[in-house]
Chains A and B, each alone.
Chain A
């Protein structure tokens, strides 16, 4: 068995009350169907009402650590970029 037969998949899980899919981990599987089944066993323990995404790792393009500075350094001297000048109304959740 070579690793190309069982490529790596990234698993994203949304829990029953969760709002978004969160990266849960990775696993090896021969295709997407099997990746889903394996992910269900490994990452959800089969609790009802969850959503699973599996993505072949090769389909993910990541930002490069080398470009970290220009990519992620916020322009801190431009406060108008940061939406922090208002009060959050009561009762707003998930912010």
Chain B
């Protein structure tokens, strides 16, 4: 693991992308033992492990990964509000995965093809997130175009998380991406999948006063504090211990 801190200019970017991966990884970990079928349990754990791996690399660029994960307060986490949303039912988890992994694949794709500091890391991660997107896409199609019940749940999951999606396209300091293109590509990709799944693209606001999303500024939604308390509990109870 590369422990050399990157140039200070890159730290905010590594922290934002690393926190996204860390927090979503924790949420997916909560599914362990609770997934609808055993095979799906393995798939979700696999995705969580990929994300945790990404988080470790990114956070190590900033400082000590454990300190950053376990000893920071809520207000200093820079993850998107989307990834901290509770799992809800399986459909809502899949909606979150679809929105986020499509974003991650497009973003890392852009970074991998550039020559920025994150290019090598993005090139490795983009293969993983392509699989995550594929997994989310297939479940979106199955649930959306499944039974009336699963269709309704998938639509509700997509609708409920829509207001958190605008935040993904706010430029992150130090990330050299074409954010407008990212947003256009994301809308097209997600729109196509939802269309094929016989679902309606939600039309609520995604940014502005009535939408949510200030995670990048350290403002988080209520469920996040509870999640952090659980995640950090042991480390805070036994500070300085070696595991």
Contacts and interface: CB of A to CB of B under 8 A. Distances in A.
Interface of A: 1, 6, 27-30, 33-34, 37-38, 41-42, 46
Contact of B46 (A6, A34, A41): A41
A38 B131 contact: no
B138 A41 contact: no
Contact of B135 (A1, A27, A37): A37
Interface in B57-88: none
Interface residues of B, number: 12
Contact of B138 (A27, A37, A42): A37
Given A6-B37, A46-B131, A41 B142 contact: no
Interface of B: 36-39, 42-43, 46, 131, 134-135, 138, 142
A33 B131 contact: no
Contacts of A29: 39
Contacts of A34: 39, 138, 142
A75 B199 CA distance: 64
Contacts of A42: 39, 42
B138 A28 contact: no
Given A6-B37, A30-B142, A38 B135 contact: no
A25 to B, nearest CB: 12
A6 B43 CA distance: 16
Contact of B39 (A1, A27, A46): A27
A28 B39 contact: yes
Interface centre among A29, A33, A37, A41, by most chain B C-beta atoms within 10 angstroms, is A41
Contact of B43 (A1, A28, A33, A41): A41
The 5 closest A-B pairs by CB, nearest first: A38-B39, A41-B42, A41-B46, A41-B43, A27-B39
